[in-house]
Amino acid sequence: MYIDLVQPYLQWKSQPASGSVGQASKFDWEVLGSITVDSTQLLVSKSPDMSDATTTKKQSGVTRWYHPDHRTSSAKNNGLFSERYTFNASGVYYVQAVATVDQDWTKQGTGSDAPVPNVKPQTHIVNARTDNNWDYSSNGRRVKGRTVWSSPVSCGKSGCCY
């Protein structure tokens, strides 16, 4: 099961195939492969390359892997997020969920709590999700860092809407 934590990913739980202009459409997604969700939101665009995307309000939380003894533990530790979005004009829209996760993994102690030796995190699992410049190859395998993880792009019509 812990293989799920190797790489963050997002997946749609539900999304409308169409809707009505001026009425909110509900999108549900899950953030997986991480422990804390620093921010997640929807990007909405009329372009399939997501250029000029509108963003929804940022949300944050924790995933199913978050330990229940931590201070923010609750029954909502499941990585599920939801947003209602109102399309104001008819047309084809593209929607994508994005997330930044586990950024607190780069924080280290100071003073007597400083690590010895005092170096930045070295593991691939930390750097792959916290350092956009991380790029490591060995034995035909490559780990490329990034801080923003994305769902597949969803497409639908508005007017018939979405």
Per-residue model confidence as pLDDT tens digits over 98-136: 999 999 999 888 888 888 888 888 888 999 999 999 999
- Residue pair 104/37 in contact (Cβ under 8 Å)? The answer is no
Least confident range from 1-15, 28-42, 68-82, 130-144: namely: 68-82
> For the chain, what is the mean pLDDT?
87
What is the model's pLDDT at position 160? 43
Q: What is the pTM of this model?
A: 0.86
Residue 55's pLDDT band, with cuts at 50, 70 and 90, is very high
**What is the predicted pLDDT for the residue at 70?**
57
Q: Could you tell me the domains of the chain?
A: 2-114+147-158 (2.60.40.1930)
Which pLDDT value is given to residue 71? 56
Residues 6+ apart with CB under 8 A from 129: 8, 34, 101, 102, 103, 105, 145, 146, 147, 149
Give 7-16 pLDDT, tens digit per residue.
Answer: 999 999 998 8
Where does residue 55 rank: exposed (0-12), middle (13-18), buried (19+ CB within 10 A)? exposed
Rounded-to-integer distance, Cα 56 and Cα 37, Å: 16
Q: Does 68 score more than 70 pLDDT?
A: no
Residue 74 has pLDDT above 60, yes or no: no
Six token digits for residue 8: 């963050």
Q: Calculate what percentage of the chain has a pLDDT beyond 90.
A: 56
